[in-house]
Amino acid sequence: MMNEKLILALDQGTTSSRAILFNKSGEIKFVSQKSFEQIFPTPGWVEHDPNEIWSSQISVAAEVIAKAGISGLEVAAIGITNQRETTVVWDRHTSEPIYNAIVWQDRRTSKYCDELKSQGHTDEIKQKTGLVLDAYFSATKLKWILDNVEGAREKAEAGDLCFGTVDTWLIWKLTRGKMFITDVSNASRTMMFNIRTMDWDDDLLKLFNIPRAILPEVKQSSEVYGETSTTLFSTKIPIAGIAGDQQAALFGQMCTKPGMVKNTYGTGCFLLMNTGNEAVYSKNNLLTTVAWKINGEVSYALEGSVFVGGAAIQWLRDGLKIIHDSSEVSTLAETVEDNGGVYFVPALTGLGAPYWDQYARGTIIGVTRGTTDGHIARATLEGIAFQVYDIVKAMEADAETQSTELRVDGGASASNLLMQIQSDLFGFKIIRPKTLETTALGAAYLAGLAVGFWESIDEIQSQWIIEKEFTPKEDKTKIDNMVSFWHKAVKRSQAWIED
């Protein structure tokens, strides 16, 4: 048995549910993970079974407690972080979902979004929510369920249904329906929440035809919301932290001051810049979002997404078959001194921010007789780094600030070569922390702060440990030349599909 108290982070992701126990030093003590089914009913549709989300999450929570050989008495608090925008609707009385969860990747409401654009609602939605009008967010998914599940709209009007993002669903289940809540970071991703008034917006609810009775109460990201009521833990445990996955990673990276930026190098790349207590509206196709609310104070962020980050490396492995394992890409790229004039724009599913071109396609350009698989590998790593560069430059323009460092996490951040390329491009430090599980760590920190496990953000800051720093080594003239060629390559890839 351990006598030190721990924080339990529940990290509910798109493909798996994880539970991680952290100690007072912010170190991972035990981890448990379980995948669950991805459901594709028809092309462009993506769903999850909400009961499977719950069962996978609660089973890893039980497993990690068992691995640690502790009881609920040793858990100081629970923090929750989750896949964002994914939409769950359930019966308030039976707690049974009325339809599968519609996942953030789902595109079934794209045409409806196009109709709203043609009616001129784009600016109103951006001003109120900070978001672009897109099927990505929860509002149109919720409307679809109310319009397409028999009897759903009548039940919703009567106050018999609950809508939630995944955090809300998990907390409802953990408390057996006693708590129907979300936090500001998740609410700000629904396209129904006004990030100025910090409340659900009546005009938008009217536009989407969504009754207010279906919506959860919006709380801070760090406060004691209540206690667990399940029989899983031998004692009641405070639930004390909630944040959407990217905001949790921003907090886990301790990007707590305006101008600080983090990038998660996953399948795609998610960049967030803390803009402090000011909601900065983007002129460069970025999203404005709530980062968190702690002790009554709201912090905002700018967000940009790269659709294809680590997925480009997976394509080298599965499509081109020039590597057997993703970890081999750096070794192959290091067989050449530079890219040999080859540029790869990884627009395999179109281009994300700041271009937002769904008709762009992947482009490898500058190929000669002397081009080798090493040049392709290097151009792939550079293609990921260039996309990140473009978003940070857009953020700097919007926030009217210059970045001095980038904090990194996610699978591809383990590549020293990619991180060195990134540092050379920016001409500033790239910082990789010791703990790369920054999403779960952020949720743990938010929960721990609320119960006094950690006294202050300053105390947490002091335990944030750097594993490696990368500083620029390349000549600036050469970098400027590369950036110029990159932008030429992007132009060649844009609007490729004419449909």
Residue 164 is part of a domain; what is its CATH number?
A: 3.30.420.40
pLDDT, tens digit, 9 for 90 and up, residues 241-284: 999 999 999 999 999 999 899 999 888 889 999 999 989 999 88
206 and 104 in a common domain: yes
488 and 346 in a common domain: yes
pLDDT, tens digit, 9 for 90 and up, residues 131-162: 988 888 999 999 999 999 999 999 999 999 99
260 and 293 in a common domain: yes
Integer Rg of the chain from CA: 22
Position 60 in a domain: yes
The 3-state DSSP class for residue 425 equals: helix
Q: How confident is the model at residue 221 (pLDDT cuts 50, 70, 90)?
A: very high
105 and 226 in a common domain: yes
Amino acid of residue 152: A
How does DSSP classify residue 316? I
Give the DSSP per-residue string, 457-486: HHHHHHH--EEEEE---S-HHHHHHHHHHH
Position 318 in a domain: yes
| pLDDT for residue 2 is more than 60 | no
What b/e string do you get for 460-471 counting C-beta neighbours within 10 Å, with b at 16 or more? beeebeeeeebe
Asked whether residue 245 is marked as a ligand-binding residue, the answer is yes
Asked whether residue 85 is marked as a ligand-binding residue, the answer is yes
Position 244 in a domain: no
334 and 283 in a common domain: yes
357 and 298 in a common domain: yes
19 and 125 in a common domain: yes
365 and 328 in a common domain: yes
489 vs 435, which has greater pLDDT? 489
Position 245 in a domain: no
pLDDT, tens digit, 9 for 90 and up, residues 167-206: 999 999 999 999 999 999 999 999 999 999 999 999 999 9
pLDDT, tens digit, 9 for 90 and up, residues 310-327: 889 989 998 899 899 888
Instruction: Report the pLDDT value the prediction gives residue 353, as an integer from 0 to 100.
Output: 80
Q: How confident is the model at residue 47 (pLDDT cuts 50, 70, 90)?
A: very high
Asked whether residue 84 is marked as a ligand-binding residue, the answer is yes
User: How many CB atoms are located within 10 Å of the residue 189 CB?
Assistant: 28
Position 52 in a domain: yes
Instruction: Report the pLDDT value the prediction gives residue 309, as an integer from 0 to 100.
Output: 86
Position 454 in a domain: no
Average pLDDT over residues 16-45: 90
Asked whether residue 310 is marked as a ligand-binding residue, the answer is yes
Contact 33, 16 (CB under 8 A): yes
Instruction: Report the pLDDT value the prediction gives residue 362, as an integer from 0 to 100.
Output: 92
Structural domain including 428 reads: 253-432+464-498
Asked whether residue 267 is marked as a ligand-binding residue, the answer is yes
Position 478 in a domain: yes
Q: Which of 235, 261, 293 is the last residue of a domain?
A: 235
Cis before residue 50, ω within 30 degrees of 0? Answer: no
290 and 218 in a common domain: no
Amino acid of residue 499: D
Q: Which of 200, 235, 270 is the last residue of a domain?
A: 235
How many domains, in total, are found in the chain? 2
**pTM, two decimal places:** 0.89
Structure tokens at 483: 């950036």
Lowest mean pLDDT: which of 33-42, 136-145, 151-160, 212-221? 33-42
Q: How confident is the model at residue 499 (pLDDT cuts 50, 70, 90)?
A: low
214 and 294 in a common domain: no
Asked whether residue 15 is marked as a ligand-binding residue, the answer is yes
Q: Which of 204, 235, 266 is the last residue of a domain?
A: 235
Q: How confident is the model at residue 3 (pLDDT cuts 50, 70, 90)?
A: low
Instruction: Report the pLDDT value the prediction gives residue 498, as an integer from 0 to 100.
Output: 73
260 and 181 in a common domain: no
Asked whether residue 107 is marked as a ligand-binding residue, the answer is no
Instruction: Report the pLDDT value the prediction gives residue 406, as an integer from 0 to 100.
Output: 94
Position 142 in a domain: yes
359 and 223 in a common domain: no
